[in-house]
Homo-oligomer: A and B are copies of this chain.
Amino acid sequence: MSHLINISEAASLALHGLAIVAQKNPEKVNAKYIAEKLNASEAHLAKIFQRLSKSGLIKSFRGPTGGFVLNKPVEEISFLDIYEIVESKIIINDCPLHKTGCPFENCIFGDALKNISQSIYQTFKNIKLSDFTE
């Protein structure tokens, strides 16, 4: 079974987790709470939020009453931002044979991959945390 679109569970967890943080905004929300809500492993989720925090998308606070809060307005955080942090940089034009001297002068996929990638890119950009705060 294969997904056509490449979204790791980590990226999805990040989006869902941040949606919860956005809903509680400006309260702090800790990793344990989010993990429980999402039926996810706390260790795993903590790791993901660590990266989000390091990137500056959220702020973190240690100690009792600690947790995470958004570091930007909800309208300014898109799934694209999250995706790029969690999955590292995005490749837009990506025939897997591009590297190893492909014998076809014109890429066999034509513009198809680039076009789709761009459409995915736009779609991800249009999904914002503000969509979930109602």
Contacts and interface: CB of A to CB of B under 8 A. Distances in A.
Interface of A: 1-9, 11-13, 15-16, 19, 37-40, 83, 87-92, 94-97, 100-104, 108-110, 112-113, 115-117, 119-121, 123, 126-127, 131-132
A5 B4 contact: yes
Contacts of A110: 127, 131
B8 A96 contact: yes
Copies in the complex: 2
B116 A123 contact: yes
A37 B100 CA distance: 11
8 A-B pairs with the lowest CB-CB distances in the bound complex, closest first: A2-B87, A12-B96, A9-B96, A4-B120, A39-B100, A6-B6, A3-B94, A4-B117
B132 A4 contact: no
B89 A2 contact: yes
Nearest to A19: B108
A110 B126 CA distance: 11
Question: Of A2, A88, A123, A127, which is in contact with the most chain B CB atoms at under 10 Å from its CB?
Answer: A2
